[in-house]
Structure 1
Amino acid sequence: MIYFDYAATCPLDKDAASAYIKVAANYFANSNSLHDMGGTVQSFIEQCRSDFASLLGVDKEGIYFTSGGSESNFLTIQALLSEQPKNKNHIITTLAEHSSIHSTMKILEKQGYEIDYLPVMNNGLIDLELFEKRLNENTGLVSIHHVNSETGAIQPIEEIGSICKKHGVLFHSDFVQSFGKLPLTSFTNMLDGFSLSSHKFYGPKGVGVAYINPKHNWEGYYPGTTHENGFRPGTLNTAGIVSMTVAAQKAHLQLEGNQFHFKQLRNAFLQKTKGNSSIHVIECAQQLPSIIGLRVKNMEGQWVMLESNRRGYAISTGSACQVGQQTPSKSMKAMGFSDEQAKEFVRISFGKDTTIEEVEQYAQLLKEMIAETSS
């Protein structure tokens, strides 16, 4: 089967896998233990913390290791809100956020927070003028993702950060789809917190990173926790953290080459589907080339995904299937598409081993599927 779902998860890098096995087998002590074996493990953790700080251009004191992007999003948002006065109960996010952000916002709504969900324009980006108008004296936090997981749209993080700083509002961003694929260090200092996930850049599953600017005096969500300076409970996944760090360093070294490769793959797909009126690729003002969101007109995305799977291609609908009916893509809805159009959405996403031949073959398959259903 040809895998076109790298935005969902990636295979484990071989060097990262080797590091995992070595650490898991030989350096298994709890990093909080006071004996020498615990101290050795703690030194590994701190080296990884320094390595991530260097890759991200931030203070290592703000780096915390977690179980992944969803936990990082939840705990970072909770930590940033913990230092805000009670009147700062207005939060701005977008309709196109990852489900982990939306579920966090639902919890906060029950706690009395007012959540303001911004739409995105038809170019995939937020309207900065509208965003600034929505800020008010009670706005305590903004949480807007960097790269959209369904369309690949790249939000203007620097501009959003500048507006937040001007108004004295805390800014968190979900970097899960962008770390290892885009350079970030030019604007990480604009944020109060961000999140990333190991398995999106060829590291192991079940491990991630949260960052909170050390200037903040936050309180942990779980009381009495000692791990990670009180940020989260539980023995640290040392093997996962070391393996993730190896994968992160490789992704950083290969970033430029991979970006060139992804642009070639995207161009090959666009050229192969050019002129077919049934295939509508979602084009955004700024876009990650490795993610292609599209509609096949008059075909439900769930059917296209299942038929692609039957013919040997793993793609995604970009949304969940509930009670036998496909939920409309939230990113498409946020961009103003109708429910019917949003249900036609599918996503293909590339990895470093994807070939132009594979992409062209799938584009041809799509055209054949369209011809078969219309005949």
Structure 2
Amino acid sequence: MKYFDYAASCPLDREAAEVYIQAASSYYGNASSLHDAGDRANGLLAYSREQMAGFIGVSKDGIYFTGSGSEGNYLAIQALLTGRKKKGKHIISGMAEHSSVSNTIEKLRQAGWDITLLPFHEDGRIDLEDFQNAIREDTVLASIQHTNPEIGTLQPIEEIGKLCRENQILLHSDCVQSFGKVDMSPIAPFVDSLTVSGHKFYGPKGVGAVYLNPEVRWDPYVPGTSHEHGFRAGTVNVPGIAAMAVAAEKAVRGLEENKKQFRLLREMFLTSLEPIREMCTVYRADLPSTIGMRIPGLEGQLIMNEANRYGFAISTGSACQVSMQAPSKTMVALGVEGKTAKEFIRITLGRETQPEDVRELGKTLVKIARENRY
């Protein structure tokens, strides 16, 4: 199977796996325990916290470890709502947010919060004027994803963050798809919280991190929670966190080299689509590793199944959405509706992706299109 679904999950990095085994074998104490074994585990946890803070470009006092990016999004939003700067019950978010954010926002709507969801401009970004016009006197929170997971566009978080600061609005950003692919330090000063997830950058599944601005005075979601200074319940996964930090270091160190390689692979893929290129819609992307596209007249589900039959793993969108067989939220945010929205497929590249596999995938998609459409 040739794998082209790295935005859904990456294989575990070998060095990260070795660190996981070593930490699980030698640092097995509960990091909250007061004996020496617990102290050793807590020391490794503190070191990993400092590392992750450095990779993001924030204070280690704002880093909290979680069990996933989804949990991080949920808890970060809840924390910011307890620490809001003014009275109000209005939240701004995007139409194409990850389900962990959109489901949280919907739950808040049902609880009486007023929600404004913003569409994408044709370039795949939220229009700053739309965001500014959505701001009200009672707006207390905005949650805007940094990188779209389906077409790979980056939102203008710095500019949105400035607008939020001017209007006493706290800003959360889901950075699960961007960490390890772009430098976090430019946006970090402009958000009040952000999330990352280990398995998106070759770390283990079941571990993530949240940055929560230390200046925000928040309350624990579950009163009496002691782990991670009250941010979440449950014994901290020290081996997973240590392994994630190793994977993060490699991702950040190789960021520019990987982007250069992904640009070359992307161009190879698009060239291989030449026989049907004029008929396809390929969406612009800031991340060269993400290729979102449509082949007119063919549902994405059909293309995905056929590609799988030929030995290629691709996707019809975000992994937390595809099982629902609903139109891509990104397509809806772009104003693409009905059957056309269901034509969407996503191809994502990783460190293991080989040029010959990229060319072979392109030829296979041409074959699928000709067999089923042309």
Other-structure match for 1:341: 340
| Gap regions ≥5 residues in structure 1 | none
Residue deviations 1:116-146 (CA, integer Å, cap 9, x gap): 1000011100010011010011000010001
2:322 pairs, out of 320, 329, 333, with 320
Other-structure match for 2:54: 54
Which amino acid in the other structure matches residue 157 of structure 1?
I
Other-structure match for 1:189: 189
Which amino acid in the other structure matches residue 180 of structure 2?
G
Q: How does 1:278-293 map to 2 (within 5 A)?
A: 278-284=279-285, 287-293=286-292
Instruction: Please give the alpha-carbon distance, in whole angstroms, between the structure 2 residues aligned to 1:275 and 1:146.
Output: 34
Cα pair distance change 1:234/1:38, threshold 3 Å: same
Other-structure match for 2:352: 353
RMSD of equivalent CA atoms: 1.2
Instruction: Please give the alpha-carbon distance, in whole angstroms, between the structure 2 residues aligned to 1:183 and 1:291.
Output: 17
Residue deviations 1:326-350 (CA, integer Å, cap 9, x gap): 3111100100111211100010100
Cα pair distance change 1:59/1:86, threshold 3 Å: closer
Which amino acid in the other structure matches residue 226 of structure 1?
S
- Secondary structure (helix, strand or coil) at the match of 2:116 reads strand
Q: Is the counterpart of residue 140 in structure 1 residue 140 in structure 2?
A: yes
Q: CA deviation at 1:60?
A: 0.5
Residue deviations 1:258-295 (CA, integer Å, cap 9, x gap): 010111111111222236233221125xx211010111
Spell out structure 1 runs of 4+ moving beyond 4 A.
none
- Secondary structure (helix, strand or coil) at the match of 2:151 reads coil
Instruction: Please give the alpha-carbon distance, in whole angstroms, between the structure 2 residues aligned to 1:64 and 1:179.
Output: 16
Instruction: Please give the alpha-carbon distance, in whole angstroms, between the structure 2 residues aligned to 1:66 and 1:153.
Output: 26
Instruction: Please give the alpha-carbon distance, in whole angstroms, between the structure 2 residues aligned to 1:280 and 1:177.
Output: 22
Other-structure match for 2:44: 44
Q: CA deviation at 1:187?
A: 2.1
- Secondary structure (helix, strand or coil) at the match of 2:246 reads helix
Residue deviations 1:229-284 (CA, integer Å, cap 9, x gap): 00001100000000000000011111111010111111111222236233221125
Instruction: Please give the alpha-carbon distance, in whole angstroms, between the structure 2 residues aligned to 1:267 and 1:374.
Output: 24
Q: How does 1:167-246 map to 2 (within 5 A)?
A: 167-246=167-246
**Larger displacement relative to structure 2 (3-12 or 182-191):** 182-191
Other-structure match for 2:31: 31
Cα pair distance change 1:206/1:135, threshold 3 Å: same
Residue deviations 1:284-335 (CA, integer Å, cap 9, x gap): 5xx211010111110110010000001100001114244xxx3111100100
| Gap regions ≥5 residues in structure 2 | none
Q: Is the counterpart of residue 373 in structure 1 residue 372 in structure 2?
A: yes
Q: CA deviation at 1:31?
A: 0.4
Instruction: Please give the alpha-carbon distance, in whole angstroms, between the structure 1 residues aligned to 2:43 and 2:372.
Output: 60
Instruction: Please give the alpha-carbon distance, in whole angstroms, between the structure 2 residues aligned to 1:24 and 1:236.
Output: 12
Instruction: Please give the alpha-carbon distance, in whole angstroms, between the structure 1 residues aligned to 2:125 and 2:275.
Output: 26
Residue deviations 1:208-233 (CA, integer Å, cap 9, x gap): 00111000110011110000000001
Instruction: Please give the alpha-carbon distance, in whole angstroms, between the structure 1 residues aligned to 2:49 and 2:85.
Output: 30
Number of equivalent positions: 370
Which amino acid in the other structure matches residue 331 of structure 1?
T
Q: CA deviation at 1:374?
A: 3.5
**What percentage of aligned pairs have identical amino acids?**
47
Which amino acid in the other structure matches residue 327 of structure 1?
A
Instruction: Please give the alpha-carbon distance, in whole angstroms, between the structure 2 residues aligned to 1:51 and 1:187.
Output: 18
Instruction: Please give the alpha-carbon distance, in whole angstroms, between the structure 2 residues aligned to 1:131 and 1:329.
Output: 22
**Larger displacement relative to structure 2 (348-357 or 79-88):** 79-88
Which amino acid in the other structure matches residue 164 of structure 1?
C
Is this contact kept in 2: 1:278–1:370, CA < 8 A? no
Q: CA deviation at 1:373?
A: 2.0
Other-structure match for 2:3: 3
Instruction: Please give the alpha-carbon distance, in whole angstroms, between the structure 2 residues aligned to 1:341 and 1:280.
Output: 11
Instruction: Please give the alpha-carbon distance, in whole angstroms, between the structure 2 residues aligned to 1:256 and 1:331.
Output: 27
Q: CA deviation at 1:85?
A: 6.8
- Secondary structure (helix, strand or coil) at the match of 2:254 reads helix
Q: CA deviation at 1:111?
A: 1.9
Could you tell me the TM-score, scaled by structure 2's length? 0.97
Instruction: Please give the alpha-carbon distance, in whole angstroms, between the structure 1 residues aligned to 2:36 and 2:323.
Output: 50
Could you tell me the TM-score, scaled by structure 1's length? 0.97
- Secondary structure (helix, strand or coil) at the match of 1:306 reads helix
Which amino acid in the other structure matches residue 340 of structure 2?
Q
Q: Is the counterpart of residue 362 in structure 1 residue 361 in structure 2?
A: yes
Which amino acid in the other structure matches residue 40 of structure 1?
R
Instruction: Please give the alpha-carbon distance, in whole angstroms, between the structure 2 residues aligned to 1:230 and 1:374.
Output: 55
Instruction: Please give the alpha-carbon distance, in whole angstroms, between the structure 2 residues aligned to 1:198 and 1:35.
Output: 29
Is this contact kept in 2: 1:80–1:216, CA < 8 A? yes
Which amino acid in the other structure matches residue 210 of structure 1?
V
